[in-house]
């Protein structure tokens, strides 16, 4: 705060001195000189590495990204770097490396160290020990994905997994009309969006149903695992969305997946970056 106040006072002193000691023409020349000064000081050339990335062509297959801290468990399914399992992660070499896109910015190194430390969680180390390549990108998942869209405009995915809504305070900006627009911009024509909706306090199914309806998505399935087999496991709710029903493939024949339960609720509305109603989906 003191720094900005000092800069403000310096600006006042500059304006007073230039008006008191210089004529109008000299003031104009002085201002133009100050405006031109950054042209000789700041680096204005395009970074060669950035240019190379923009010129690079997308590979034949891209590994899908997993958004959210819950995505840290997904590398468990990545058996090896050649298997192309269902859940790999993005922003690595085509079909080889993967990335987790966690949500929060604070203490990024500590969070990364915890995720890769076998003492706390074994998912990522186990995947790496089997030969899988996992790349962790810290930062807000939606912002980073938007940056990837600009950096590599030809990059598209078969699958995007969003596992970020299980906590008491959900990241609403990952469940809005604008977020869905970004997800499907990054998916290929038959790409799938998988959303983990399990939450003790919020019923997020109608939110997804309304967003899918607003986006004109023809493929919609919901799965409730109400009686998990593993000891100590809890029930989970997943939704899978696609542009067309045909893109869902064999999932439509699986009895565990149904479109009937993904019902719209007009009172919930279509969530946007500017408007959403958590009370409408709260489990009272």
Average pLDDT over residues 176-196: 94
Distance from C-alpha of 27 to C-alpha of 21, rounded to nearest angstrom: 9
Q: Which of 3-12, 95-104, 178-187, 250-259 has the lowest mean pLDDT?
A: 95-104
Query: What pLDDT, on the 0 to 100 scale, is given for residue 178?
Result: 96
Q: Inform me whether the pLDDT recorded for 161 exceeds 70.
A: yes
DSSP states of 44-81 = -SPPHHHHHHHHPPP-S--PPPEESGGGGGGGGG---T
Residues 19 and 146 both lie in one domain: no
Q: What is the CATH number of the domain that holds 113?
A: 3.40.50.150
Domains: count for the chain: 2
Residues 23 and 88 both lie in one domain: no
Give the CA dihedral 70, 164, 234, 110, nearest 10 degrees. Answer: 40
Distance from C-alpha of 197 to C-alpha of 200, rounded to nearest angstrom: 10
Looking up tokens 């058996």, which residue turns up? 79
Model pLDDT for residues 71-120, shown as the tens digit of each residue: 545 655 554 433 333 333 333 333 334 445 543 444 556 666 777 788 88
Residues 138 and 20 both lie in one domain: no
Distance from C-alpha of 48 to C-alpha of 57, rounded to nearest angstrom: 16
Distance from C-alpha of 252 to C-alpha of 256, rounded to nearest angstrom: 9
Q: Angle of helix 177-185 relative to helix 141-151, nearest 10 degrees?
A: 40
Model pLDDT for residues 114-155, shown as the tens digit of each residue: 777 888 877 778 877 877 777 777 778 899 889 888 988 888
Residues 108 and 37 both lie in one domain: no
Q: Quick one: pLDDT band at residue 219, thresholds 50, 70, 90? A: confident
Q: Inform me whether the pLDDT recorded for 53 exceeds 60.
A: no
Q: Which of 33-37, 60-64, 115-119 has the lowest mean pLDDT?
A: 60-64
Q: Who has greater pLDDT, 194 or 14?
A: 194
Residues 33 and 133 both lie in one domain: no
Query: What pLDDT, on the 0 to 100 scale, is given for residue 41?
Result: 62
Q: Within 13 Å and on the Cβ side, how many CA atoms surround 126?
A: 13
Q: Who has greater pLDDT, 154 or 6?
A: 154
Q: Angle of helix 2-21 relative to helix 24-41, nearest 10 degrees?
A: 140
Q: Who has greater pLDDT, 254 or 11?
A: 254
Residues 152 and 239 both lie in one domain: yes
Residues 200 and 170 both lie in one domain: yes
Cα angle, residue 6 at apex, residues 3 and 11 outer, rounded to 5°: 130
Average pLDDT value for the chain:
75
- Can you read off the two tokens belonging to residue 132? 């899988």
Give the ranges where the chain is alpha helix by DSSP (H).
Answer: 2-21, 24-41, 48-55, 108-116, 123-129, 141-151, 177-185, 205-215
- Containing domain of residue 22, as a range? 2-44
| Share of residues in the chain with pLDDT > 70 (%) | 69
| Residues 252/212, Cβ–Cβ less than 8 Å | no
CA 62 → CA 155, 158, 196, 216, distances in Å?
7, 7, 22, 25
- What is the C-alpha R_g of the chain? 25
């Amino acid at each position: 705060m003191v720094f900005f106040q000092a800069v403000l006072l310096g600006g006042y002193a500059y304006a007073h001195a230039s008006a008191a000691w210089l004529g109008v023409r000299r003031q104009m020349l002085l201002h133009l000189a100050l405006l031109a000064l950054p042209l000789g000081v700041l680096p204005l050339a395009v970074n060669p590495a950035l240019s190379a990335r923009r010129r690079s062509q997308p590979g034949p297959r891209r590994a899908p990204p997993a958004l959210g801290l819950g995505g840290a468990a997904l590398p468990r399914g990545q058996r090896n770097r050649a298997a192309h399992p269902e859940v790999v992660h993005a922003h690595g070499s085509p079909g080889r490396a993967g990335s987790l896109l966690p949500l929060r910015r604070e203490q990024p190194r500590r969070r990364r160290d915890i995720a890769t430390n076998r003492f706390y969680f074994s998912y990522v180390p186990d995947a790496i020990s089997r030969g899988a390549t996992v790349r962790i990108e810290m930062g807000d998942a939606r912002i980073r994905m938007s940056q990837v869209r600009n950096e590599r405009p030809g990059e598209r995915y078969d699958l995007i997994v969003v596992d970020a809504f299980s906590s008491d305070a959900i990241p609403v900006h990952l469940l809005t009309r604008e977020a869905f627009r970004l997800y499907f911009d990054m998916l290929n024509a038959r790409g799938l969006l998988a959303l983990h909706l399990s939450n003790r306090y919020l019923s997020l199914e109608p939110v997804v149903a309304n967003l899918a309806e607003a986006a004109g998505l023809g493929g919609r399935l919901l799965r409730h695992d109400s009686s998990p087999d593993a000891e100590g496991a809890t029930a989970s709710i997943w939704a899978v969305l696609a542009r067309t029903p045909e893109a869902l493939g064999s999932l439509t024949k699986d009895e565990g997946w149904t479109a009937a339960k993904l019902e719209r609720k007009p009172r919930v509305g279509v969530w946007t970056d500017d408007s959403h109603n958590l009370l409408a989906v709260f489990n009272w």
